[in-house]
Structure 1
Amino acid sequence: MFGFAAPHMTSLNFNNIETLTGSNNKKWKEDVEMVLGLMDLDLALREEKPAAITAESTADHKAKVEKWERTNRMSLMIMRKAMAPSVKGGVPKQDNAKDFLAAVGEKFKESDKAETGTFLTQITTMKFDGEGSVREHILKMVDLAQKLKDLEVPMTDQFLVHMALNSLPSKYGQLKVSYNTQKVKWGIDELITMCAQEEDRLRNDKSVDVNFVQGEKRKRDFTQGSTVAAGKKKKKEISSSFKNANIISKGSHKIKTANVETEKENECYFCKETGHLRKNCNGFKNWLVKKGLLKNKGDKQ
C-alpha cells in the first residue's frame, strides 16, 4: 500500500510537523494527527491492535494485522523523529503509537482549572480593534467557547452572541440597536453574516467619504487658485496704470499727466481734494498771500 512514492510523501509531510520542544504540545499533536492522516498512517491511532494471527486466521485478517503493525511502526518513528532530544528522553518508551501519544500528553497535561481561567479571561476581554476581519474575530471567540465546553464549562449561543456584540467598537452601534430591537434572536452563524455585511457597509461608506473630501479639497484648491490668479492680474493692471501716469513736471504747479480725462478728476497737489488743480485752489492762493508771494486782489498797488 505504501509503494506510491512513500519516501517523497514521508519527507514532504514530515517537514510540516513542528518539533516538540516542551511548550507546543497542542500544536505538535495537531500536526502529527494531520500528517499521519494525510499519509494514511493513522490506523494505529484510530483502532486497537487486532488479534494475533493464528493458523485459522483468514487472509483479510492477516492483511489487517499487517497494515496495523506497519502504520503503528511508521507512526512511532515519525512522532519520535519530530521531538527534541531532551523531550524524547523524558517520555516512556511504548510499542503502541496510541499509547505513546497519550504518554506525551500526560507529560504536558495542564490543570483544567488553570486552562478554564485562561480561556474565560481571554473570551471576556476580547475587543475587535479593526485589525483583520470581524468574521475572524468572532470565530476566535467561538473557538474559545468550544475549548471551554470541552472543559465542561458550557456557554450558550445566545450568551456568546451578546459577548461578541459587546466586543465590537462603537461604529457597529447601528447593528447592536438592530439586534436589540428585534424579537428574533440570532445564532452564531447569523451574527457572523450580519457583522460581515456591516463591515462591508462601513468600508464602502468610508471610501465614499474619502472620495468626497478629496473632491471638495480639489474644488477648493481650484477656486483658491483662480482667486489668487485673478488678484495677481488685477494688481498687475493697477501697477501698470500707475506707471503710465508719469509726472512730467515736478517743480511746477502745473501738473500734467499722460492719462487725464477731465480736470475735475484731478487731485489738488495742495489740499489733496479732487475736482480742481492747485492753481485754482483757494487754500493755495491764501497761502501764497500769507507768504508774500502773491498780492491780494483787494490790495492797492
Structure 2
Amino acid sequence: MKNNKASISLLLTIVFLITSLFSMKNAYANQLHSDTQHNLIANGGFEEGLEGWKTHNQGDYEQWAGLAEFSVENGELKVEIKQVGWAWWHIQLYQEPVNVAAGTYKISFDMRSDVERTVYVELTGSGVARQDFVVDNTMKTYEAIIEVPSDGSYKFMFGLGREPNEEILNTPYNIFIDNVKLIMVEEVEEPEEPGEPKEPGEPGESEEPEEPEEPEGPGEPGGSEKPEEPDEPEELGDGENDVSEDKNEGIVKTGSWLDFRTLVLVGILLFLMGGALTLKRDVKNKGIIKRIIIQKLKNMI
C-alpha cells in the first residue's frame, strides 16, 4: 500500500510540474505580446474621466476663437463645440509629455461627430506630419501609421478647431472620442497603404531590377537582351540559401525550448517506465510469496 501511495504521489507531482512548465511558457508569450502592444497614451478609454488629459480653448484668450466644453459620459469623451474659431489648434485635447522612441507607430481612436467635419491629430515636436481625418455621425475606428524619426518627449494632440478655408458649422454640436492609442508596430505592410498608388502604376520599374547598372534603360526597346539573363536566378537561389540559413538559426534559437521540453518528457517517460517495472516486480514477488504460503498451508494440512 505504501508503494502504491508513493507512486501516485510521484505521478501527481509530475503532472503538476508539466502543467507548470506549459503555464510558464504561455505566460511568457503573453507578456511578450503585451509588451509589443503597449499603449503610450494614458487613460485612452477615459475609464478614469479626464485623468492624464489636458485641454485648451483659445476662446478663453481671444474673442470668437475656438471654444468647447469637455466631459466624460458613458465611458466616452464628449466635446461640445461652442465656437468654431479660425484655426485647427484653437480647441485641443492633448497629453504631454509622451515619451516616444524612434520607430513606426499606429495611431488609432474611435470617434463620431454630430456633423461631418475634419479633425486633426499631431505628435507635436516629433517632425511627423499632421494627420487629418474626416469623421461623421457613425462611431468608427480611425487609424494612421507614422514614422517617428528620433526619440523624444512629445505632445500628442487632437486639434478640434477649424481651418480658415473650411465651412463654418452651426454650433453647438458634439464630438465623441474613445479608445485612443499610440502603439509601436514591428512591421508595416506598405502595399496595403492607400497613400502609395504610384509604385504599382509604373510597370516599367519591374524590369529595372534586372539592369541595375542602366537605370535609364526602361525607355529602350533593347530589352531583348533580358532573356539572356535567366542565369541570375541561380544567384538569387544562393541568396535564398542564405535566408534559409537565417531561418535555421532562428530554429536553433527556438529549439532550445523544444530541447529542454524534450529532455523533461524523456525523463518523465523513463521514470514512469521504471515505476511500472517496479510495480510489476512487486506484484510478481507478491505472487511468489502467495504461492509459498498456500503450499505451506497445504503441507500443514
> What TM-score do the two structures reach when normalised by structure 1?
0.22
> What TM-score do the two structures reach when normalised by structure 2?
0.22
Greater percentage in helix:
1
Q: Which has the larger radius of gyration?
A: 1
Query: Which structure is richer in relative contact order (CA contacts within 8 A, separation 6 or more)?
Result: 2
